[in-house]
Amino acid sequence: MGEGLFQPMHILLIIGIALLIFGPSKFAGLGKGLGEGIKNFKSALKDDEKKPEQKS
């Protein structure tokens, strides 16, 4: 059950359905927003690592 769920053909089918539902412009905006979110998350993690070094 669930064996081979993330095969390349399944992922392409899911992406194709998402394109049909949301359209190319919304899909591109969704990818851009996801990328910016990941970038902000990584930068926040780096900032948190630097803060403990600055103890008073």
pLDDT at site 50: 74
In the DSSP assignment, the letter for residue 28 is H
In the DSSP assignment, the letter for residue 3 is T
pLDDT at site 55: 53
**Residue 52 pLDDT exceeds 80:** no
CA distance 12 to 45: 32
- Residue pLDDT, tens place only, 5-50: 778 898 899 888 988 988 888 878 888 888 999 999 999 888 877 7
